[in-house]
Amino acid sequence: MAQKQDVKIGLLGAGTVGLQVARILHDQQQELAARAGANLVLSAVAVRDTSKVREGLDQSLLTTDIDAVINSADLVIELMGGLEPARSAMLKALEAGKTVVTGNKAVLAQYGPELYETAARTDANLYFEAAVAGAVPVVYGLRESLTGDRINKVLGIVNGTTNYILDQMTTHGWSYEQALHQAQELGYAEADPSADVGGRDAAAKCAILASLAFHTRVNLEDVPVKGITEVSAQDIKQATESGYAVKLLARAERVIVEGEEQIALGVEPTLVPQSHPLASITGPYNAIVLETEFAGRLMFYGAGAGGAPTASAVLSDVVAGANHLVSGGHAPRESVYAALPICEPGRVETRRQVRLEVADRIEMMAEIAKIYAVGGVSIASLTQSPTETVPTEATLVISTHRAQNSQHDGITAALAKSPIVHKIASEMSIE
């Protein structure tokens, strides 16, 4: 049997995921070599502090010199996170014709075209399965498995932190603050959770998925974002009573606006009917539903974060990349032939549910109905109940039929000005 070729691997970053990748490369080296058709040799690891002991990692491989790691490698794994120096390092590696594997959704969402173009120009390979949903192979599905189909809609829970928080609020009746504290205690949320709870992490993943699904360049700035920080225990209680679960959903779908096909995008807390497959996703898990022209509805589900699941996705790309290096072939190139326009957020059609605290007077219903009629939005259902603390107030929960966001926003503004409405307690889209 011929001796296998060595593929030298440079690792940028030795945090939770990086350490897991290094350990698996060492512990599973024979099996990985059999799959890749090459010996995967970790040649150097770039870290900020070489004096820090990292259990299971050969200290002699550590360096602070990113360029040296890139120059010594055939394949570069970028797991530093953040925009810089990650972006510059990936560009340098691609310029040198190196294969790059990354899990960096922030760089891909903001600078993806620059990376794709560099890879195409230098005939280098760029892999990024780990950038969206950890071990869940949705990137591979969109880039390769479903290239013979037409994707009409992508809808998913792509942030495990927020799903855990909302799940705990639902299960235990906790406030947002209580659930966030628990998530931080268990390591599901960072000390600074703003990227997760503010929705920006999900928006970056939404941009990547939309780009792949619709063969169109979609940037982070194209995705309207609303996080979960204002979701209250009462919102969760009301949703449950109405037959919904509250989920932070990333959405990308084809829509027709004045006869033109466009892409509607968004990340926001959404009321999901209990019958929908995404309503049952609990804990820090991810799930993405694809609605396709020929295969119908497909769902990808699994662990969306953590060292081992993310390392699994990284190593799947490493095996593929190493195999291409020794056997020929390359990763799928960027596909942007469709170049669909992005739908203006105000023109996207949604259903909404609004919870109001109103003056409990005879004319109240007529006033509310008039606001919706003038705004051109049809009411699908309305329930009224007395408030627990103020006898002269009532709580209204109004669900609408589909209308443009601009119409919904106009009604919200009118409700806020109405003397009969004391408070707009919450407002969410309905899936």
Q: Which residues are annotated as a binding site for L-homoserine?
A: 190
How many Å apart are CA 194 and CA 187, to the nearest integer?
15
Q: Which residues of 200-231 are buried (b: 16+ CB within 10 A; e: fewer)?
A: bbbbbbbbbbbbbbbbbbbbbebbbbbbbbeb
Region for 187 from its dihedrals, namely left if φ exceeds 0, alpha if ψ lies in -120 to 50, beta otherwise: left
Annotated catalytic residue, options 205, 237, 417, 423: 205
Q: Which residues are annotated as a binding site for NADPH?
A: 105
In SS3 terms, the chain reads as CCCCEEEEEEEECCCHHHHHHHHHHHHCHHHHHHHHCEEEEEEEEECCCCCCCCCCCCHHHEECCHHHHHHHCCEEEECCCCCCCHHHHHHHHHHCCCEEEECCHHHHHHHHHHHHHHHHHHCCCEECHHHCCCCCCHHHHHHHHCCCCCEEEEEEECCHHHHHHHHHHHHHCCCHHHHHHHHHHCCCCCCCCHHHHCCHHHHHHHHHHHHHHHCCCCCHHHCCECCCCCCCHHHHHHHHHCCEEEEEEEEEEEEEECCEEEEEEEEEEEEEECCCHHHHCCCCEEEEEEEECCCCEEEEEEECCCHHHHHHHHHHHHHHHHHHHHHCCCCCCCCCCCCCCECCHHHCEEEEEEEEEEECCCCHHHHHHHHHHHHCCCEEEEEEEECCCCCCEEEEEEEECCEEHHHHHHHHHHHHHCCCEEEEEEEEEEC
The verdict on whether 237 is a catalytic residue reads no
CB 298 within 8 A of CB 290: yes
Q: Which residues are annotated as a binding site?
A: 105, 190
Q: Which residues are catalytic?
A: 205
